[in-house]
Amino acid sequence: MAASHTHGSGASESFTSDMEKARELINGRIDSLTDDLREKVNKVIHGNPELGFKEVIAHETLTSYLEQLGFAVKRSTYGLDTSFEATLGEGGRQVVICAEYDCLPGIGHACGHNLIATSSMAAFLGAAHAMATLGVPGRLRILGTPAEEGGGGKAVLIDNGAFDPRDDVAAAIMAHPLAQHSLPGAASGHTGLAGLRLLACFKFQVEFRGQTAHAAAEPWSGTNALDAAVAAYNNVSILRQQIRPDERIHGVISKGGDAPNVIPDFTSMSWFVRAPAMGRAEILFERVKRCIEAAALATGCTHKIVMTPTYASLRANDTLCRSYAEDMAHIGEKVLVHQEHPLTASTDMGNVSQIVPSFHGAFAVPTAPNVAIHSPQFTAAAATDEAHAAAIRAGKGMAMLALRVLLDGSLADAARRDFEKSEEL
């Protein structure tokens, strides 16, 4: 099979025939594995929610399943215990399919990462089957990416070489579930979104330190670290009146003290600062820092800001988005190519999209109209047969996208040109 699309009617007809064969192989293979993926992957991960960097059961589940299907799997890759990878092919263009599988504290898979793992696994297995059967050149890799929920696992993987731009990564691919009613284009019948756009996000902890004292007997001898945390929260709440509508700041007091009659000498807070582009996020972050510094100054406390990996804004690659939407139409899915405004959320896939051409789509999960992601109700929705079926359909579209990038040099080149267009970071 040719590695790239060539011009001329005969070549065009041959290429179209190749794509039809690939689609038939992909859909047939994924259909044959759907029940297995439901029982051995989706249900296991959903039923055993694990926080970032601690996804031991998910790591074992996914790697063992790949090994059972005959793939050579590398476990605990790139310095992370719960990352893994499996690769088919040698040399040439490379497509990386990313899998997420961590949960949220207290509410399990309320972001549906069990469905992400399922759709990514389906995409890899479907594309691998067509690739091997048709002799498609290039490399296909599935990469387990821990700790998307705040831990910045992909940022760590980037630093440790998992997405080396010199390694001819032509595309990195994944998709995320959303509540159907919240999906852009849902009102006009769309069941998916190709060009998901998300915000840049600074994530950090703040520690205030003061002086403990008896709160009743000698309050004047203490320096209240809880006052500093409360003052910082209030300062930021005031700042929110002067930020743009597409910017977001949220924080919690993660430790406020131990007993009411003991003036706290230590408190900690966790903060997210988001904006559509990194430049704006940096400006907003500096304003938030001044709110924190003012709280420390006013209360006499010292403070320390501890950064966690920053999430870059998510770039939508027009070529990859259009290809995915076209292939999803072949299985009856109406996918919106682009959204007008970014959703006010963030992902570490944004970091990947800044260094290699990337696709991060979204697929709809049926829910009640008042249900949103990051809620216990969405945790329940992510466990349904309907949600699994949606993940499987997204997996078929991503598998075809992967095959197209490997097979069609003109598409891969166009995706690279889209990536290289200047964009505010």
**pLDDT at residue 5, rounded to an integer:** 47
The string of pLDDT tens digits covering residues 249-289 is 999 999 999 999 999 999 999 999 999 999 999 999 999 99
Longest dimension (CA), the chain: 92
- Quote the tokens at residue 135: 């002799």
**pLDDT at residue 340, rounded to an integer:** 83
Assessment of whether the complete model's pTM goes beyond 0.85: yes
Interacting residues of 393 by C-beta distance below 8 A, sequence separation 6+: 328, 331, 333, 363
DSSP element (H, E) containing 272: strand 266-275
**pLDDT at residue 331, rounded to an integer:** 96
> How far, in Å, CA of 161 to CA of 166, rounded?
10
| Residue type at 278 in one-letter notation | M
pLDDT above 90: residue 7: no
| 353 close to 344: Cβ distance less than 8 angstroms | no
**pLDDT at residue 342, rounded to an integer:** 84
**pLDDT at residue 162, rounded to an integer:** 97
Interacting residues of 331 by C-beta distance below 8 A, sequence separation 6+: 27, 393, 396, 397
Strand-pair partners of 142? 86, 97
Q: Which of 163-172, 264-273, 296-305, 373-382 has the lowest mean pLDDT?
A: 163-172
DSSP element (H, E) containing 23: helix 9-36
- Quote the tokens at residue 406: 């490997």
Interacting residues of 203 by C-beta distance below 8 A, sequence separation 6+: 150, 152, 270, 271, 272, 307, 308, 309, 310, 311
Q: How many alpha carbons fall within 13 Å on the CB side of residue 17?
A: 8
Average pLDDT in the 155-175 region?
A: 95
> How far, in Å, CA of 306 to CA of 281, rounded?
17
> How far, in Å, CA of 2 to CA of 5, rounded?
7
The string of pLDDT tens digits covering residues 289-346 is 999 999 999 999 999 999 999 999 999 999 999 999 999 999 999 999 998 888 889 9
Give the three-state DSSP class for 400. Answer: helix
- Strand boundaries in 61-168, DSSP class E: 73-75, 84-88, 94-99, 139-144
CA 356-173-409 angle, to 5 degrees, is: 65
pLDDT above 50: residue 226: yes
pLDDT above 80: residue 234: yes
> How far, in Å, CA of 11 to CA of 217, rounded?
89
Residue 250, classified by CB atoms within 10 Å of its CB into exposed (0-12), middle (13-18) or buried (19+), is exposed
| 250 close to 272: Cβ distance less than 8 angstroms | yes
| Residue type at 394 in one-letter notation | A
Tracing tokens 């510094």 back to the chain, one arrives at: 293
> Higher pLDDT residue, 422 or 284?
284
| 102 close to 51: Cβ distance less than 8 angstroms | yes
Give the three-state DSSP class for 363. Answer: strand
Tracing tokens 């067509």 back to the chain, one arrives at: 130
User: What is the phi/psi pair of residue 84, to 5°?
Assistant: -155, 170
> How far, in Å, CA of 313 to CA of 296, rounded?
31
**pLDDT at residue 11, rounded to an integer:** 64
